[in-house]
Copies of this chain bind each other. A is one copy, B any other.
Amino acid sequence: MKMVSVNRCFDGVQGVYTAPSKVCGGDMTFGLFLPAEAQDGPVPVLWFLSGLTCTHENAMTKAGAQIWAAEQGIALVFPDTSPRGGTVANDEAYDLGQGAGFYVNATQNPWAPHFQMWDYITEELPNVLAKNFSVDTDRQSIMGHSMGGHGALTIAMNLPDRYRSVSAFAPIAHPSQSEWGRKQLTAYLGKDEASWAKHDATLLMRDVGFNGPLLIDQGTEDQFLDLLKPEALAEAMFARRQAGVLRMQKGYDHSYYMISTFMEEHIALHAEALYQ
């Protein structure tokens, strides 16, 4: 593992590291914020999964999350959104290939050899963190934005008891019925839509739900609302009687300005679950 950078940040350390990934077949870069408390022993871990076109860097620099994670004594992980570089496949479109891993294990070529983001996020990177840093992977929570909100919700619902709480900003809520989803799930998983079901938050909400605190924020002025389909997830959540909070925030759009505005409340929710 290689340290790319470390910066002092809210009495803790914001680091960037590159580690070889077996599942993705190449080096993968991630950001990790460790609060001051990590010097005294392992701290809980909160994942932030980013959206289309993002690297590990976007949320790390723009989400305004470190101040609240420092206050709560929580580590933040900022993974990349796909494998990159070298022989990794790509597409001209911004929403397929590099920067658009969709948090699945691709089964179709040319994506299958590297695009194993599900295993990377849920298995390999947690082990890298536990082995190299003062983090307690028995206490994990997860959040994300847009494609990363999709990732957070689907991963959390698929792995009961792994994550104590889940939250999302403007998630892609029903990808099997959206152009942000059908295209990518077809490319990565093939045309058999049965294989998509575990990667659709609305379908998972109907089937299994989530046992823990859940919070979703969505802006009314989000330019991608028709692709995100929050109404489908809202219906499924209330039909299931899933505990949680859905908020439609007046005037906010799809940007990191929206994320940073509500980050304090998201991290407070996760902190309560992680330290209970």
Q: Which residues of A contact B (CB under 8 A)?
A: 218, 220, 225, 230-239, 241-251
Contacts and interface: CB of A to CB of B under 8 A. Distances in A.
B242 A248 contact: yes
Number of copies: 2
Which of A237, A238, A243 has the most CB atoms of chain B within a 10 A radius of its CB? Answer: A238
A238 B234 contact: yes
Contacts of A225: 241
A231 B220 contact: no
Contacts of A245: 245-248
A243 B248 contact: yes
Contact of A246 (B238, B239, B241): B238
A238 B249 contact: no
Nearest to A220: B241
Given A237-B248, A248-B237, A248-B238, A243 B220 contact: yes
A237 B249 CA distance: 12
B234 A246 contact: yes
A79 to B, nearest CB: 28
Contacts of A238: 218, 230-231, 233-235, 246, 248
Contacts of A237: 231, 234, 248
A235 B243 contact: no
Nearest to A212: B250
A244 B235 CA distance: 15
A37 to B, nearest CB: 29
A241 B231 CA distance: 9
Contacts of A236: 231
Contacts of A249: 243
Nearest to A213: B250
A244 B245 CA distance: 11
Contact of A235 (B220, B231, B241, B242): B231
Contacts of A250: 243
A233 to B, nearest CB: 8
A251 B213 CA distance: 12
Contacts of A230: 238
Contacts of A243: 220, 248-251
Contact of A248 (B218, B220, B244): B244
A231 B249 CA distance: 19
